[in-house]
Amino acid sequence: MGKKILLPTDFSLSSWHAIQYAIKLFEKYECDFYILNTYVKDAQGLDNITLLDPDEAFNKMSEKKSKEGLGDILTQLLLIKTPLNHRFHVLSRSTVLVNAIKDVAESLKIDMIIMGAKGMSNKKGRYGKNTLAVIENNRTCPIIIVPKNVSLGNLKEIVFTTNFNVNLNENKVKSLAEIAKIYNAKVQILSLVKDKNHTKNQQKNKLFLQEQLKGIDHEFNVLQNVKLATALSCFVTIKHSNMISYINKKPSIWKILGFGKPNLEHLGFFKDVPVLALHE
């Protein structure tokens, strides 16, 4: 059975590059790609949070623009000659992006979401607010965040950061192991710990990860007294890693209320390295 991949788009270059990356990443797999665009009227600077304007003219104009944009993407896909085992479907929804993604992911049993790091209006050096919202609010499947400077070449190395505090199971690391196997990529496990002596639970999770990565070239790395963003930046630069992966923990009540950064922002921003979020 083939994979079902959801590709949100706002018609920016970033989202188009994410679509191309997804096609290349799974070129050897039979896939159904669902390209999703949503539209909702901005009001008082709260874009994508407000309700739709009831004005029928706006609805019709936005729907037309959305469907035309999706049609243009299908035309572009014909021009780049996609693999024969890939099928493409377009979805236009008049609702908030986060809600639409959650609904589509659950109803179609999506295997993975692949989206751009930011849209048209987001500042440099940061992930887009929609990207952060999607990761924090949609936990039915893994999500790959693709910056527009990412190379479409083969993966050679993936950095997976974990302190082994989160209980691991096959579903959490399945996508990581699968992608590593596709490209015969090495997995570098990066841990930042205050004490090198692991607890029993950490030891259990480490052993489980070793078992899941059996047959995959992997290495454990332990760093102390350094921030995660700094460690990853140095590690990616030195090792020339092609992907970063982490376990996106469930947000605490304080994060839900707006206090504290989303987990993705603790990793730092990488303009040319995709990030694979595996959900707790």
Residue bearing the bigger pLDDT, 257 or 62: 62
From the options 2.60.40.1220, 3.40.50.720, 3.40.50.620, 3.30.230.70, give the CATH code of 157-279: 3.40.50.620
* Between 119 and 129, residue with greater pLDDT: 129
Q: How confident is the model at residue 264 (pLDDT cuts 50, 70, 90)?
A: confident
Q: Do the domains at 3-146 and 157-279 have one common CATH topology?
A: yes
Residue with tokens 């993604």: 101
Average pLDDT of the residues in 87-93: 96
In the chain, where the domains are located = 3-146, 157-279
Check residue 44 and give its pLDDT.
40
Q: Percentage of the chain with pLDDT > 90?
A: 46
Among 118, 154, 108, CA closest to 2: 108
Give the mean model confidence (pLDDT) for residues 100-118. 94
CATH class, 3-146 region: alpha beta
Spell out the residues 6+ positions from residue 240 whose beta carbon is closer than 8 angstroms to its own.
156, 157
pTM over 0.75: yes
Using the predicted structure, report yes or no on whether residue 104 has a pLDDT greater than 80: yes
- In this structure, what token pair is assigned to residue 174? 């399945």
The CA-based angle 188-206-164, given to 5 degrees, is 85
What residue has token string 């949100």?
8
Strands 275-279 vs 143-146: parallel, antiparallel or unpaired: antiparallel
